[in-house]
Chains A and B, each alone.
Chain A
């Protein structure tokens, strides 16, 4: 077993885990943060994307022990419970950027990371390139791209990062 302490969505977490535990497993099964999904478990689909120290990573391809001492943010950490949605979440709602919603947490975490790296004014081309690691079986991507462009603009005017 291995002892880990990390920050998840702003809260300190301590646990004693089997070193084999993947970060996504730890989030879903130990912390019950089930917003982060497992689509493929083979590093392809991006449904499991979370932020570690502010950077988008695939939580199915990282050991929880390797998050020890780091800061993790999941889809649940974007906006407080009951508070208005994060602008990127709101943009997906507004622009119909989801159908079944399975890929959505990963899409949104990827999109927020993209805005942090490339700013609030994103071309369709940039968005499509950056979505390389996120698969959606439903939407055909068109509305996801629309949502991200709108969410990126809205983030410029919001207090939520």
Chain B
């Protein structure tokens, strides 16, 4: 790890000012992505701005029909929150599937979204549920926020403060884990929303998380796993690597989407 100066702001405004004043400064939340890449010297921010002392940034609450999760809420907090379990149980389950217990005690939702790892879990939930990502500057829809592998539309002095999830009628997330890393080899989040159905896939797309509109249309007509019988997705544009070929991932998407619909209908 290269040397850096450590800052501990008490407010989001102070944190944003530190980012603005110090070129190439980065925020650190749970550090469970940033520290490993700093150790490998793939990142060498000269300034680290620690978000963990900003009060109120990790809250979880209902606001009208939306579940609002603060950026520094850990995966464990989301997984065990009664509010999340009540409003969107699929989201609590997703958080409980991330990494291992120690990772879940440190990793945060804001860090996960800002990192936009193509195999991370939260991006699929955001896209399927139609979440709003709120920063110190603006509100972003997932389509505007996620910009491809490890890329988001966040500006260098922009900080995610919270994520707003409209409560769906039904939802489920099914993850097929990479046996070694525990990240998603493929993960499918299905959400039946008041106006439509969304199917979002992580782990498979060469450009990161994406929606399967053909599945969505079939499920909008009939929200049953049977509506997907015989339906497939093309392997073009999917990742193929030592963990699985693009064809294998395409197959998994269809299988997991069916299971997710089954799980979502079983829950209600």
Contacts and interface: CB of A to CB of B under 8 A. Distances in A.
B182 interface: yes
Given A2-B6, A41-B39, A42-B36, A62 B31 contact: yes
A139 interface: no
Given A56-B101, A133-B101, A43 B182 contact: no
B52 A20 contact: no
Contact of B52 (A42, A66, A114): A66
Nearest to A42: B36
Contacts of A110: 101-102
A71 interface: no
Interface in A77-126: 110, 113-114, 117
B31 A133 contact: no
A29 interface: no
B101 A43 contact: no
Interface residues of B, number: 24
B251 interface: no
Interface string A54-65: 011110011101
Contact of A114 (B2, B31, B39, B101): B101
Contact of B31 (A61, A130, A132): A61
B116 to A, nearest CB: 19
B4 interface: yes
Interface in B141-177: none
Chain A contact-residue range equals 20 to 34
A49 interface: yes
B106 A19 contact: no
A57 B48 contact: no
A151 interface: no
Contacts, number: 69
B32 interface: yes
Interface in A26-84: 41-43, 46, 49, 52, 55-58, 61-63, 65-66
Contacts of A46: 100, 102
B106 A132 contact: no
B21 interface: no
B165 to A, nearest CB: 25
Contacts of B182: 132
- Interface of chain B, helix or strand or loop or mixed? mixed
Contacts of B105: 52, 55-57
Interface string A123-150: 0000000101110000000000000000
Contact of B102 (A18, A42, A133): A133
Nearest to A48: B102
B32 A43 contact: yes
Contacts of B9: none
Contact of A63 (B35, B99, B101, B103): B35
Interface in B5-30: 5-6, 28
Nearest to A70: B52
Contact of B99 (A52, A65, A133): A133
B6 A65 contact: yes
Contacts of A113: 101
A2 B4 CA distance: 11
Interface of B: 1-6, 28, 31-32, 35-36, 39, 48, 50, 52, 76, 99-103, 105-106, 182
Given A57-B106, A61-B31, A134-B100, 16 more contacts: A19-B4, A20-B3, A41-B39, A43-B36, A43-B103, A46-B100, A58-B106, A61-B32, A61-B35, A62-B35, A63-B6, A63-B31, A63-B35, A66-B28, A130-B101, A132-B100
Interface of A: 2, 18-20, 22, 41-43, 46, 49, 52, 55-58, 61-63, 65-66, 110, 113-114, 117, 130, 132-134
